[in-house]
Structure 1
Amino acid sequence: MTPSERLSVEQLAERVGMSVRTIRFYAGRGLIPPPVREGRNGFYGADHLARLELVRELQAHGFTLSAIEGYLERLPADATPGDVALQRTMLAPWLSDLPEAVDRETLERRAGRSLSDDDIELLVALRVVEPTPDEDLFRVAPAHLSVGIGLMNLGLPVDGAIEAERIIESHARAMAEELTEVFRVKVLPHYRASGEPPEAIAAIIEQFKPLTVQALVTAYESAVNETKRATIRRRT
């Protein structure tokens, strides 16, 4: 650890957005290595920073503390800060805007219209809006909300909208599982075998996300066009 990389526990806490007490608790549980001691002072570096950022990412995915401990235990003993950061990149959510809890007034303001109880029920059924234990709050992602409001504005029948959502959800989940397996088995090992540093692989993964989404959109558009042509051929 060079002098320029050394962070006090207070500086580390500020960098990762955690309290000093939380960092010391995590250190006591073995989630990060002990600080480097110089006399009575302890210093932290890039490895501590990368691991705490990974912990925060795992927490955002709803992992319990014991699950996070198990995940970190499976990291190679010689994992570099870049290797740990790569793990975080692969876990990072694909949505640009994460769901957040909002009250009804905020939900209506973001929707750009007033929402009746039936409207809320439809958005919940479409899984655009999620109820929370607090009856006055709803969890919603801006990108999901815009799609839900768009469907509502088209005046789609409720049963048709819900069935369409069910079909999209089931096929999207299947594609996500299969593509994730392809990435894990074939794509990531290829990049690692090429000798690319973890930082470069992380940058490639960030570019891979929007390209994959666009490929799925393009494939869907082509499939719809082919389906329409097939329907016309059958009718004629």
Structure 2
Amino acid sequence: MRAHVAAVYRAGMANGSDRMSVEQLAERVGMTVRTIRFYAGRGLIPPPVREGRNGYYGLDHLARLELVRELQAHGFTLSAIEGYLERLPADATPQDVALQRTMLAPWLPDLPETVSRADLESRTGRTLSDDDLEVLVALRVVEPTPDEDVFRVAPAHLSVGVALVDLGLPLDAAVAAERVFETHARQIAEELTEVFRDQVWPHYRESGERPEAMTAMVEQFKPLTVQALVTAYESAVDETKRAIVRRRT
């Protein structure tokens, strides 16, 4: 399969102008020359096109290296990355590979602020016990870090989380609610991923749209998805309440 990928790539690059030396490719992708050659040796990218003693790289190399970098950011090991790339179609174009990377891009940004426990207590205006912090973690208002006295915080939700702590929300209830959110969020994520993989991605591939167009569409889809989930949840809660009342009458 790797030989076929290389042959397809050489044919596509033969009359193209998007040629880079390994140094230019390294600068563009933000890797060292040594790393690129190591990845080439492992078969993560096709070999360069040779012209005499010189080897040239193109957009396919760039797209695949950017995909490798995205997979690394998601915690994939090198062997897992190799397996992922092996499953790409042999005739995948740079645009196809870029679309794969778009599908892997984080759906939401990281929590925006990192603060110490002292700063967190200063913001909340109260001392936070270990149980209080566990409730906030379960509610995903704060997120622990390897440093036990440092947390990543969602400032917009902090006051609401602390209000629930002050109202005495039991830790067990917060943890149980988090499990419900996690279970159903995973199911929603898997089903939405299937929609993008089976319906959106093929459409963009067949239409010849640039990967940037799909990236922009995904960005626009995010807030709509959040609002749709909130609306559906509110409707479901109201219907559940009505069903409980009907059963009791």
Q: Are 1:30 and 2:40 counterparts?
A: no
Identity of matched residues, %: 70
Deviation at 1:187, TM superposition (A): 4.5
The one of 171, 194, 197 aligned to 2:209: 197
Distance apart, 1:193 and its partner CA: 7.8
Query: How far did residue 146 of structure 1 move?
Result: 4.7
Normalised by the length of structure 2, the TM-score is: 0.73
Match of 2:197 among 162, 184, 191: 184
Structure 2 CA distance for aligned equivalents of residues 7 and 212 of structure 1: 40
CA distance in 2, matches of 1:84, 1:217: 33
- The match for 1:173 is 186
Classify the secondary structure of the residue corresponding to 1:162. helix
Whole-angstrom distance in 2 between the partners of 1:38 and 1:98: 48
Deviations 1:19-50 (A, max 9, x none): 22211111111111222334433332211111
What aligned pairs does 1:12-161 form with structure 2 within 5 A after superposition?
A: 12-97=25-110, 104=116, 108=120, 112-113=123-124, 115-126=128-139, 128-132=142-146, 135=148, 140=152, 142-143=153-154, 146-147=156-157, 150-154=160-164, 155=166, 156-161=169-174
Question: How big is the shift at 1:86?
Answer: 0.2
Residue 234 of structure 1 deviates from its aligned partner by 6.3
Q: Structure 1 residue 125: deviation in Å?
A: 4.3
2:207 is paired with a residue whose SS is coil
Contact 1:151 1:161 in 2 (8 A): no
Unmatched runs of 5 consecutive residues or more in structure 1: none
One-letter identity of the residue aligned with 1:76: P
Q: Is the 8 A contact 1:9 1:20 kept in 2?
A: yes
Local SS of the residue matching 1:112: helix
Return the alpha-carbon distance in structure 1 between the equivalents of residues 156 and 238 of structure 2: 25
Distance 1:148-1:235 versus aligned 2 partners, 3 A rule: farther
2:23 aligned residue: 10
In structure 2, do the counterparts of structure 1 residues 59 and 196 end up closer, same or farther at CA, with 3 Å as the change threshold?
Answer: same
Residue 129 of structure 1: SS of its match in structure 2?
Answer: strand
Counterpart-to-counterpart distance in 2, 1:202 and 1:135: 36
Contact 1:55–1:68 (CA under 8 A) maintained in structure 2? yes
Bigger Cα displacement from structure 2, 158-167 vs 76-85: 158-167
CA shift, 1:235, in A, is 6.8
Measure, in 2, the Cα distance between the counterparts of 1:80 and 1:40: 26
Query: Which piece of structure 1 moves more, 168-177 or 195-204?
Result: 195-204
Contact 1:124–1:131 (CA under 8 A) maintained in structure 2: no
Contact in 1 for aligned 2:136/2:161 (Cα 8 Å):
no
8 Å CA contact retained: 1:126, 1:148: no
The answer to whether the 8 Å contact 2:131/2:171 transfers is: no
- Distance in 2 of aligned mates of 1:56 and 1:99: 22
